[in-house]
Amino acid sequence: MFSAFFRFFENLVDPYTPYDETDHPPRKLFSFIYEYAKPFRKVFIATAIFSILAAIVELWLIGYMGRLVDLLDLGPEGFWAEHGVEMILVAIFLLTVRPAVQIVGMALLHNTVMVNFGTLIRWRSHRHVLRQSVGWFENDFAGRIAGRIMQTPPAANEVVFQLFDAIAYAIAYLIGSAVLLGDADPRLILPLLIWAALYAFLMQWVIRRIEPASKASSDARSQLTGRVVDSYTNIHSVKMFAHNAREIDYAREAIEETRQTVRKEMRLYTLMDLGLTVLNGYLIVAVAGWAIALWLQGAASPGVVAAAVALVLRLNAMSGWIMWAVSNFFQNLGVVSEGMETIAQPVTLVDRPQSRDLALGNGRIEVEGLTHHYGRKTGGLQDVSLTVEPGEKVGLVGRSGAGKSTLVKLLLRFYDAEAGRILIDGQDISTLTQDSLRRAIGVVQQDSSLLHRSVRDNILYGNPEASEEQMIEAARRAEAHEFIQRLQDNKGLTGYDALVGERGVKLSGGQRQRITLARVMLKDAPILVLDEATSALDSEVEAAIQDTLYGMMEGKTVIAIAHRLSTIAQMDRIVVMDHGRVVEDGSHQALLDKGGIYAGLWARQSGGFLGEGDEVEAAE
């Protein structure tokens, strides 16, 4: 029975209901909340109605208590005969209607709104953030982004909860109190109105200060989260360089900043409590005192005095709750406002309205006048033109900062080029859908980070539709099957079911790289980009999979970046980049005969690597 009751209210709104995604979400606070609240409009109206009804019932109960005092004051003779039916009806009302109003109101608030509103915000926010470009993520802490995604929904939930549980109830209760006191004696309204005006002034004073103070403390918490997660994510570097103390000091700065912002916030709450205590003392003395004075003059019955005293005592108890609720309301608005700095940022790298999927032909790549400096004056690429014919294998060489990684990022459309264009089979990639473009390109990066999931999940990321046999075959070709069978994680999961840890930290660099290779093999994309694909492998393993790598390249258009020049010497062509430009282009032997930059790099390498002064970039 109760399960069906709860399910009814929990299913009134589907938090995953389809919606029109926008690249430019509202940037103003209440517009932002209003947009997310659209599926809840009818529920919000019903919740407000039941909150007001609950306040009316409570006020009626206080007023009826005054009537009951007056009836009892008449004596016991004939009481039941004259008022027995009334007492029975009141009892039935209190046992049925009052609980029904309360339970429906609370079910709407707790089981419909609180369960689904935060879920909807978290779901849509995550979808929006995932649509951001790689560059957007590179400009922020992953921990801070995640922190805001996690903090904002519960804060928005609290905003809605306080709006209906406290604010709507309080407004209805205050208006009803004035009506109740005015009905007893209009003069009793005056001290209530004076108290309400002073209470509103105090609330305004608190709110004006609490919202920026709350936003400051929320900002500080996000900064702290970002610093702590940064330390944990890079724990290997922290330990290798013996910088525990440095990281502790780094975090302490943010912890102290958080403490200072919270301290300012708590001072406001203490001042609020002080002001509230004084005001409530006035309310009790003024209204109760006046009611007693009226009774002494014979102008009010004992029931009026009892109702007035009960009312002000109830308001006294409620006022602190309301003030805290309103403060909490604006405090959480501050958290939502801070979260909007991430969640409401526009998506700038988007598919054009008329974008179409890539119609893949032979995999011909044309780079025409490509220029990109990441919004700066230096770095990146400058007027690069290059053509890679279908099925051609091109090696990309250059010193650190030459622009190789920038070229790859623009090919994958992680950024939109500032000038020039890239075409695949004659199609400008800026006019294509990003997903169709990236499905056509297989990439093995130097930084072979993995998802904190099972080995199976990581390999199947290349092709979720692949069979178990296809997945294992890819692992075999990448020389990974043998070590995968020996894996066991701390949960006792083994083999392909073993978890690899965050970014694959539980595996060695060579193991991570081989799983990455297996993933790309399973993807089997027609265009292949190898960015230091074998850099993490020892010589024995590299030799073992060298034939596999060349097999991967067969029939594909390939762009390969390598530190180890011997690994790309057999490419069809080698393109040499320097300071963001293509400076040499030709076969390995032709470039050696030319005696230019490539020949110099080849002459200075030791054991097939570029020399110390010619270190190749990891990323740009």
Partners of 394 in beta bridges: 559, 573
For residues 160 and 448, what is the distance between their CA atoms, to the nearest angstrom?
A: 43
Q: Which of 311, 326, 343 is the last residue of a domain?
A: 343
Classify residue 494: in a domain, yes or no. no
- In DSSP notation, 513-565 reads HHHHHHHHHHH--SEEEEESTTTTS-HHHHHHHHHHHHHHHTTSEEEEE-SSG
- Structural domains of the chain, count: 2
**Residues 44 and 160 both lie in one domain:** yes
Amino acid of residue 465 = E
**Mean pLDDT for all residues in the chain:** 85
- Strand, coil or helix: 154: helix
Q: Which of 287, 321, 343 is the last residue of a domain?
A: 343
Classify residue 569: in a domain, yes or no. no
Distance linking the first and last C-alpha atoms of the chain: 61
**Across 135-164, average pLDDT:** 84
Classify residue 450: in a domain, yes or no. no
pLDDT of residue 140: 80
Amino acid of residue 188 = L
Helix (H) or strand (E) holding 102: helix 97-106
- Tokens 């994510």 sit at which residue? 233
| Residue of 50, 54, 52, 25 lying closest to 38 (CA atoms) | 25
Asked whether 619 and 405 are in contact (CB, 8 A), the reply is yes
**Residues 329 and 385 both lie in one domain:** no
**Residues 320 and 386 both lie in one domain:** no
Looking at residue 286, which CATH number applies to its domain? 1.20.1560.10
**Residues 271 and 363 both lie in one domain:** no
Classify residue 508: in a domain, yes or no. no
**Residues 300 and 198 both lie in one domain:** yes
Classify residue 564: in a domain, yes or no. no
The 3 state secondary structure assigned to 48-66 is HHHHHHHHHHHHHHHHHHH
**Residues 385 and 292 both lie in one domain:** no
Classify residue 46: in a domain, yes or no. yes
What are the tens digits of pLDDT across the range 165-183? Answer: 877 777 887 888 888 777 7
Model confidence band, residue 68 (pLDDT cutoffs 50, 70, 90): confident
For residues 418 and 401, what is the distance between their CA atoms, to the nearest angstrom?
A: 18
Looking at residue 379, which CATH number applies to its domain? 3.40.50
Kindly tell me if the per-residue pLDDT of 426 is higher than 90. Answer: yes
**Residues 315 and 192 both lie in one domain:** yes
- Strand, coil or helix: 401: coil
**Residues 293 and 218 both lie in one domain:** yes
Classify residue 243: in a domain, yes or no. yes
Q: Which of 310, 343, 376 is the last residue of a domain?
A: 343
**Residues 267 and 372 both lie in one domain:** no
Q: Is the dihedral of CA 136, 138, 141, 147 positive or negative?
A: positive
Full residue range of the structural domain in which residue 389 is found: 351-438+576-620
Amino acid of residue 138 = E
Ranking 3-7, 92-96, 294-298, 458-462 by mean pLDDT, the lowest is 294-298
Partners of 54 in beta bridges: none
DSSP-H helix ranges across 344-392: none
Asked whether 370 and 422 are in contact (CB, 8 A), the reply is yes
**Residues 418 and 331 both lie in one domain:** no
pLDDT of residue 145: 85
For residues 453 and 260, what is the distance between their CA atoms, to the nearest angstrom?
A: 39
What are the tens digits of pLDDT across the range 217-273? Answer: 878 887 888 888 888 878 867 887 788 888 888 889 889 998 998 888 888 878 888
**Residues 305 and 358 both lie in one domain:** no
pLDDT of residue 609: 47
**Across 519-530, average pLDDT:** 91
For residues 384 and 583, what is the distance between their CA atoms, to the nearest angstrom?
A: 10
Classify residue 1: in a domain, yes or no. no
**Residues 185 and 93 both lie in one domain:** yes
